[in-house]
Amino acid sequence: MDDAKAHSAPFVAVIYFHGMGSQRRYEEGSRLLDSIDRNLQDKSSCESDARLKDIGPRHEAGRTPDDPDVTYLGATYVKAGQPDREIRIYEAYWAPIMADTSSAGAVALWIVRQVRRPFASFFSNWMEFRRLRRSMLAELLDREGGPKTVNEDDYEALCQAYADFGDGRTVAPKGGQSFACFTTFLEDRLCNSTDEQRRVLALARKWRRHFLRREVGNLLFLLTILLAILTSLAACIWGAMMVVDWIGQFVASNLPQAQDNAGGAVDGASTAGMAVTGGNAANFRVRLSEYLNALDFWSIATPAVGILMALGVRKFLTDYMGDVEAWSTYQETDTKYLKRKKVIALGSKVVAHVLGHDRCERAVVVSHSLGTSVALDTLLAMVNTNRVTNPTDPISGPVDLSRIRHFVTAGCPVDKINYFFETYRSGSRNYTRVVEGLRGDIGTEPFSRAGTAHVNWVNFWDRGDIISGPIQSAVAARTLKRRVDNVHVAGMKFPNPGGSHTGYFRDKTIVSTLCGMIFDDAYDSTDEDLRKDEGVRYSNWIYLFAATLPWLAALYIVLSFFGLADGFGKPILVVFTVSVGLLVAINLVLLVKWLLGRYDGRRNPI
């Protein structure tokens, strides 16, 4: 393509929102471009006759004199029989805004407070937490086998009835919000069709049972996380106490003269250092060696594990969960909310810059991890801004959001964020309706336009990734037929939460799908073939096995506290030790294979 044509031909834009953590500018976008390039070079790919050329950074001026210049990753797509096309990858880099948001202690306390969340659902009326309840109905439809094996009309009738039941003008102001009132409402609504009434009422009761079972499961999961945090803290404290005990025992048994002179174990340790410098180094080393040889395995392993756990937990809480805590702050009186607003403003500016280019033919929004929630809220905020001056068709402008054709999420925690932080209670029914209207769903802009599907939302999730999951909370208020295309993949051959969460864009199925969207405008809003399950089920059993470890550790601590560890605690300690040993052994084998370059661990690598 000559320079004149290159500066006049339309281009396809990819707008990338990175995930949580200390990401580096351009790195995640470069990795995505690497994966696309490798996929095109793969001879088994349907795009085997295509390639990318002229890959590198490009620069362009901002849309206004006050806007900074923009750097993007550019490439030219070359395929036999087709004109060359320009591809651009823009990055919404929001990591610096969230840097150093919270301390590890503050984040840990924030996590502990979430244990209360399921109780709010248990004791709520049926009209509260409506988005959450609708998501459970959509989940039940998927679990029952989808429209091909169940009567989807019954689900539609129930969904529409629930939307009408939630209308403040439909039920009595007081005492009319319970599940019993909802079933009475259904009986009156379907009184002309006895058979349909019976089916829909049975489905409503099944929906309620499913909702309660899920809340019990959520409570157990949160308690397990809480126990894991507490046992990790206990291991750290125990490890520190054993280190102090080592020093005290060593000084008391091997250096009595130092203890006599200093009057304490800690000062004795200092005197030991003086003895070494005073010419007793050889004798000191012999005594220290004898003392260390006398220690058992647990005396050495416990402090080591405690220190490693402390370092790992602290990094996880500050670098990763700190971003989640700050981003999920919806209380406008909280100072962290300002960071959230800045992130949305940055994302909006990047999207507006890309879509404002007169040569931008269309755009694909790609996001990962917490960036999926950032991307979603950015688009919703831009729709609301457009609606101020264009209430009839907010997609069309002032920022032309109609150019966005695909919205891709991977490792998405949107449902979890909705569960913990976007569920709200109020004595005002209108407040709920206002918040629901502002929040939007897949049946509203930008995903729908004039009641018709517009943007196809494709969500890739992995059962081995505890952060991800199928997206159900975005289901439309009055229909279940318009939903997110949830694609379940299995990225790893063995459960590896970290590898599963970071490896989405190294999976051939995912990258091939992205290539189809970017280069061929495939998988649009009319395509339902993407809603499929290519995952495996072993992860459930492995994670259930791992989830028992905090409970075993907590039970052993309780028995030890009451002096029963020598009796009942022995079998528990044996099971716990064997379980931990098994997990450690498996991971060591995988680590050695990985270090030798013989094991990638991925099921479907590019």
Cβ 424 vs Cβ 128: under 8 Å: no
CA distances from 572 to 157, 225, 231, 567 (A): 51, 20, 15, 10
CA distances from 498 to 105, 175, 413, 417, 538 (A): 23, 48, 15, 19, 16
Cβ 337 vs Cβ 329: under 8 Å: yes
Provide the pLDDT for residue 27: 94
User: In terms of Cα–Cα distance, which of 83, 92, 89 is closest to 36?
Assistant: 89
The structure tokens 């259904």 sit at: 186
The structure tokens 């809340």 sit at: 215
User: Whole-angstrom Cα distance, residue 496 to residue 576?
Assistant: 20
CA dihedral 555, 561, 566, 569 (to 10 degrees): 0
Cβ 429 vs Cβ 168: under 8 Å: yes
Provide the pLDDT for residue 15: 98
CA distances from 467 to 117, 214, 251, 531 (A): 18, 17, 48, 20
User: Whole-angstrom Cα distance, residue 574 to residue 572?
Assistant: 5
Question: What ranges make up the beta strands (E) of 80-146?
Answer: 85-92
Beta bridge mates, 77:
52, 85
Cβ 462 vs Cβ 486: under 8 Å: no
User: Whole-angstrom Cα distance, residue 135 to residue 159?
Assistant: 10
Lowest mean pLDDT across 137-141, 248-252, 289-293, 488-492? 289-293
**Mind listing the pLDDT tens digit for each residue in 329-353?**
777 877 788 889 999 999 999 999 9
User: Whole-angstrom Cα distance, residue 189 to residue 195?
Assistant: 13
User: In terms of Cα–Cα distance, which of 322, 323, 324 is closest to 419?
Assistant: 324
User: In terms of Cα–Cα distance, which of 151, 94, 167, 41 is closest to 348?
Assistant: 94
- The encoded tokens of residue 108 equal 């840990």
User: Whole-angstrom Cα distance, residue 398 to residue 380?
Assistant: 14
- The encoded tokens of residue 132 equal 């959450």
The structure tokens 């769903």 sit at: 441
The yes-or-no verdict on residue 548 having pLDDT over 60 is yes
- For the chain, the average pLDDT equals 79
**Mind listing the pLDDT tens digit for each residue in 249-306?**
666 665 554 444 444 444 544 444 444 444 455 665 565 565 555 555 555 555 555 5
H or E stretch at 41? helix 27-41
Count of CB atoms within 10 A of residue 573's CB? 18
Bond preceding residue 173 cis, omega within 30 of 0 = no
Provide the pLDDT for residue 275: 45
Lowest mean pLDDT across 204-208, 238-242, 410-414, 579-583? 579-583
User: Whole-angstrom Cα distance, residue 76 to residue 83?
Assistant: 10
User: Whole-angstrom Cα distance, residue 202 to residue 2?
Assistant: 66
User: Whole-angstrom Cα distance, residue 121 to residue 116?
Assistant: 10
Highest mean pLDDT among 147-151, 322-326, 431-435, 471-475: 471-475
Contacts of 254 (CB under 8 A, 6+ apart): 287, 288, 290, 291
User: Whole-angstrom Cα distance, residue 2 to residue 23?
Assistant: 36
The yes-or-no verdict on residue 388 having pLDDT over 80 is yes
The yes-or-no verdict on residue 34 having pLDDT over 90 is yes
Q: Is the dihedral of CA 42, 47, 53, 58 positive or negative?
A: negative
Lowest mean pLDDT across 17-26, 92-101, 401-410? 92-101
Cβ 155 vs Cβ 202: under 8 Å: no
Cβ 73 vs Cβ 30: under 8 Å: yes
Provide the pLDDT for residue 48: 62
Say if strands 360-368 and 85-92 run parallel, antiparallel, or are unpaired. Answer: unpaired
Provide the pLDDT for residue 278: 47
Cite the DSSP H helix spans in 178-193: 179-189
pTM: 0.82
When pLDDT is cut at 50, 70 and 90, the band that residue 408 belongs to is very high
Beta bridge mates, 53:
76
User: Whole-angstrom Cα distance, residue 94 to residue 92?
Assistant: 6
Kindly report the backbone phi and psi dihedral angles of residue 405, in degrees, each rounded to the nearest multiple of 5, phi listed first.
-110, -25
Provide the pLDDT for residue 266: 44
User: Whole-angstrom Cα distance, residue 63 to residue 169?
Assistant: 47
Contacts of 326 (CB under 8 A, 6+ apart): 98, 101, 102, 336, 339, 340
Count of CB atoms within 10 A of residue 529's CB? 8
Bond preceding residue 446 cis, omega within 30 of 0 = yes
> Within its chain, how far is the Cα of 553 from the centroid?
27
DSSP, collapsed to helix, strand or coil, labels residue 137 as helix
User: Whole-angstrom Cα distance, residue 33 to residue 17?
Assistant: 14
Provide the pLDDT for residue 470: 92
DSSP type of residue 225? H
Contacts of 297 (CB under 8 A, 6+ apart): none
Q: Concatenated DSSP letters for 540-597?
A: HHHHHHHHHHHHHHHHHHHHHHTT-TTTTHHHHHHHHHHHHHHHHHHHHHHHHHHHTT
Highest mean pLDDT among 174-183, 321-330, 565-574: 174-183
Contacts of 512 (CB under 8 A, 6+ apart): 39, 45, 46, 47
DSSP type of residue 506? G
Provide the pLDDT for residue 274: 46
The yes-or-no verdict on residue 59 having pLDDT over 50 is yes
Q: What crossing angle do the helices spanning 297-315 and 194-254 adopt, rounded to 10°?
A: 130
CA distances from 117 to 205, 222, 255, 332, 384 (A): 23, 9, 55, 20, 29
**Mind listing the pLDDT tens digit for each residue in 562-602?**
666 666 656 766 666 666 666 666 666 666 655 555 556 77
Q: What angle do CA 21, 25, 30 make, to 5 degrees?
A: 105
Provide the pLDDT for residue 112: 78
Cβ 79 vs Cβ 49: under 8 Å: yes
